[in-house]
Every structure is written in structure tokens, then in C-alpha cells.
Chains A and B, each alone.
Chain A
Amino acid sequence: MTDRDGAASFTRWASERQQALLRTAVLLCGDHHRAEDLVQHALTEVALRWSRLRDEHPDAYARQVMVRTNISWWRRRRREVVLDVRDGTATPGPGAAVDRRLLLDRALAQLTPKQRATVVLRFYDDLSERATAEALGVSVGTVKSQTHVALARLREAAPELADLLEEPT
């Protein structure tokens, strides 16, 4: 593979996939600008290994880089992070999409980055428990327990959201 071939195939893949990666990244970290940084970092890491990854699973690798980098960032900054920035705002009423977004953002912010990543990978990216475990670098058992804890915490953190999302009877 020449450098030019590599560049062409990489940019083709990256152009196609980066919006999807961005959406995963936004859900992982909750911030658009940080999500862009995560995507850019992941794309660079994939590009560095493109000769090997192009015929394997570049999406999975990019997702793995984003998940682990985000957790690493969080660990670096957790003592300085404002955990409750939205306290004091009026509770949005159910019904409108924007209200649901706020409720969801607030609920996701209550999760640890690993729990959050578990929810995102399992329920947004629809990964299997095994694939989620590989992305996070943990056991399948941990994914199961983290999923259970995360869903319980989401319900607890945003009862309005839980009510909103109950199956209609």
C-alpha cells in the first residue's frame, strides 16, 4: 500500500464514519467541543495504524480510543469538574424534545464515565456485551453489572425521564 493509497482509503473511511463517531462521542462526554477533540484523536490513532486496521475493524478501534481517552480525561480532571452545573435551573416539563434532552443530559451526567460508556455502547451503538467489554477493557460480567447499576442510576437521577419513557399502557 503506497502512502497515497493509504491516504485515499483512510480519508474515504474517515469521511464516511466521523459523523457517527461524533454522535457517540457527544453521548460519551456530553460536550460537543470535547467530542470533536475525541473524534479527531481517534481518527489520528486509526490513521497511525491504517495499514493494519483498514482490513480489520477501524470503527471498533476508533470507538475504543474514544471511550478510553474520555475515561482518562475524566480521571485527570475529576477533582476539578463541576458535577452539578445545571442545579438551580427550573425542572423542564415533559413533552418537548428539548426538555427530554435536558433531562437526559442531566441523568447521564450522574453516571461515572464507565457506566456512561456502557449505556452508550450498549443502547446507542447497539454493541453486544462482549464488544462493549472489549471497547472498555473490562470483563463481560463487569459490563452486565455496570449496565444494571447505570440504568438504576438513570431512573433514580431522572424520575421525570423514567416516567416519560415508560411504555404506554
Chain B
Amino acid sequence: MTQERLRELLRERVADEQMPDRSAQAWGRARTVRRRRRLGAVAGVAGVAVLVSGGIAALSSTPLTDPREPGVSDTRTTPGAPTPTAVVPDATYEGAPLWWSPDQAQERTLTPIDSQFPAEIDLDASEPFVPGELGHAIAAFARGREVVLLGPSGELRTVDVSSVEKFTKPNGYRYFPASSWMLTPDGEHLVFPQDDHDAVFSLGTGSWSTVPRGTGLVKQDPPRPPFDASAAQQYGAAHQGAASWGMGVAALPVRDSGEDLSGPEFLVADSADGPAVLAFMDRFSNGQDNRWKDCCPVAGRLDQDWVVYESRQSTPLLVAWHVGTGEFRLVSRILGAYDLASFV
């Protein structure tokens, strides 16, 4: 297929496509949004420390952990080391303490923290998988019909999983069954549900086997949110008493109420003081900074205090949250496209 022929074919494909003129409509909608933002900003100023209906109380506007300019600091912190903590929550929701995450731009400039993950995970630099070379992995990244495995020493190896068939849901939908649980907790196997069995790939031997349907995947129970989250949808894998939820709790208090914020998704992590909630904040910035739906699945814990979440954005990040505080650290940058990730 030559590139010039491809160009011709693409042009031919859409030559007849047309739509009614929506320019005036778009301008009108933009004007409405501007007006709503102005009103929201005014209401935000007037509403400081005022009880809001629905049981929400904004308690304070604790500033986020200092976001630094990229490259300013190479000082890494270590999990477990004593750190000054801001234990006063940013807000409460139905009596539960709630903290606000950095927005995506701030996440990129957080101070690094030492962890089992390399500071940079460049998926495009992965090499072909060789049986026996990698006994177990600490993360797996699905990209099309390949999975990139991240080894404990930071090595990256690509496994061809094109022999895995699409999975058929009861309603007939078919999809490639990579999931946030595909890497088993011991990091030694990849598991893909198939229509009549589970396909299991062994990292130790590089061989495929099958187990009865539904027995290969290991899922942990998510923690119980400290408020009614029955309308929200938990997504991603749960790890050691931490998990993330999508839309459904529309009333969570958010920072900067006058800004163009998406409905916050949130993470719940169990701690010694009970469950703590992290609401994922965002600041709309030239259309480049809005959080994606299911933006931030939990990726695991560094220790009992630090939870790691995957911040899905143009350059995805692993970000660590010191549970029950306003402290955040940068774990890793993930370079190269992938569909989803699975962590031990």
C-alpha cells in the first residue's frame, strides 16, 4: 500500500460527507458556558466556608504540595521516611475526609519518589520477550495484540498475544480481553478470559495453557466508600484496600468551583484512621488538560501509607498519594501509547 494511494483512498472515503452549518449554534453555546463560568466564579467567592446543601462542607483550601517546575528538583523522597503531613482534609463529604489531587499539569512536576518503578517507562524501547529471561513482572501494558511487561529491574519485554481470541459478552459484544487484572498478583502469568476457558501465559516458560473459565483472573475486593457511592462505577483493579470510582457522586466538593471542572472521579484508600477519599481535580487549560473518563485507576501501594494511581493523560504518569494527607509524589512517566495497564 503506497502512501499516495492511501491518501487518495482517504479522500475518496469522505468526499461526500456534509453536515448542516453549526457555527451560530457553537457560538451561542460558548456564550452560555462563559456566562455560567462567570456566575460560578461569583458564587465560589461568596460561598467560602458556607455550608452547602447535600451535607457538603468546604472546610479549607489547603494548598497542594508544592508543584515544581520540570527539572527543578531531583531530590527523591523515600516511602516510609517521616514527612510533614497536612492531616486536615481539603473538605468533607457526608462526614468523610476528602483530599484534592493535583491537576494533571501539577502532577507532571511533582517531586519524585523512590519506588520499584523506574522513573521513566519507555514502552517503545521494549525488546522481544525471551522465555526464561523474565520470571515475573511488576506491570503489564496492553497495546493492541501485544503486551509489554515491566520487569523488576526495569527491563521491558514484549509478548505477542495475538493468539488470544476476542471475548464475547452475554449481550454479544466482542472485545479483546486485556484487563487491569491480566497480570496475576505474583507477576508470573498473564490471564485472558476466553469464551469457554481462560488462556494463561507463563512468563517463566513462555508457554500458553488453559484453565477453566473464570478461574484464572484474581480480583481483590475494593474498599467500601465511606458514603453512598451506589451510583458510581468502580473501575480498574483494587489493590490492598484501594480502588477508584467513576462518575456517579456528582456532588463531591471540588476545588476552584468557578473553573471548568469535570465531575470528579475519586479514589478510596483504607488507612489506619479509616477510609480516606481522594477526588481527582482538574483545571481546564486550552482543551489539553481535562481528565479522561476513568482517568486514574489504582496501580498499587508503595507501602501502607502511599497509594499509587495511574494518571491517564497524554503522557501518562504514576503518581503516589500519601493517604490521608495533601502529599503527592511522582513515581514514573510512561512513554509510548498503550491501551491499559495491569499492576501486581
Contact = CB atoms under 8 A, between A and B. Distances in A.
Interface of A: 3, 6-7, 10-11, 13-15, 18-19, 22-24, 26-27, 32, 35-36, 39-40, 43-50, 61, 64-65, 68, 72, 75-76, 78-84, 97, 100-101, 104-105, 112, 114-115, 119-120, 123-124, 126, 136-139, 141-142, 145-146, 149, 151, 153-155, 161-162, 165-167
A142 B335 contact: yes
8 closest A-B pairs by CB: A137-B314, A14-B23, A47-B30, A43-B26, A23-B14, A76-B293, A165-B5, A11-B23
Contact of A114 (B15, B172, B337): B337
Contact of A100 (B2, B9, B166, B294): B9
Contact of B25 (A40, A97, A115, A167): A40
Given A18-B19, A137-B314, A155-B1, A112 B25 contact: no
Contact of B287 (A26, A45, A142): A45
Looking at A15, A48, A50, which has the most chain B CB atoms within 10 Å of its CB?
Answer: A48
Interface in B170-184: 172-176
Contact of A151 (B1, B13, B292, B294): B1
A23 B335 contact: no
B1 A19 contact: no
Interface string B1-31: 1110111011111110111011111110111
B13 A101 contact: yes
Given A35-B17, A76-B293, A112-B339, A49 B174 contact: no
Interface string B280-319: 0000001110101110000000000000000011110000
B287 A68 contact: yes
A155 B27 CA distance: 42
B204 interface: no
B214 to A, nearest CB: 17
A116 to B, nearest CB: 11
Interface residues of B, number: 52
Contacts of B68: none
Interface in B10-60: 10-15, 17-19, 21-27, 29-31, 33-34
Contacts of B124: 141-142, 145
Q: Chain A's interface: helix, strand, loop or mixed, by majority?
A: helix
Given A65-B287, A80-B173, A166-B2, A48 B17 contact: no
A108 to B, nearest CB: 9
B293 A43 contact: no
Nearest to A6: B27
B173 A124 contact: no
Interface of B: 1-3, 5-7, 9-15, 17-19, 21-27, 29-31, 33-34, 124, 143-144, 166, 172-176, 286-288, 290, 292-294, 312-315, 335-337, 339
A114 B6 CA distance: 18
Contacts of B175: 78-81, 83
Contact of B314 (A15, A83, A136): A136
A64 B289 CA distance: 12
Given A48-B30, A83-B176, A15 B17 contact: no
Contacts of B312: 75
A162 B1 contact: yes
Looking at A19, A47, A72, which has the most chain B CB atoms within 10 Å of its CB?
Answer: A47
Contacts of A97: 12
Contact of B23 (A10, A105, A145): A10
Contacts of A75: 292-294, 312
A11 B339 CA distance: 37
A81 B335 CA distance: 26
A26 B10 CA distance: 10
Given A27-B13, A47-B27, A82-B173, 9 more contacts: A82-B174, A100-B9, A104-B10, A120-B10, A123-B3, A141-B124, A142-B337, A146-B337, A151-B1
Nearest to B290: A72
A124 B34 contact: no
29 contacts: A7-B27, A10-B27, A13-B23, A14-B23, A19-B19, A26-B13, A27-B13, A32-B17, A35-B17, A35-B19, A47-B27, A48-B30, A68-B314, A76-B293, A76-B294, A79-B175, A82-B173, A83-B166, A84-B166, A97-B12, A104-B13, A114-B337, A115-B144, A123-B3, A124-B14, A136-B314, A146-B337, A151-B3, A167-B2
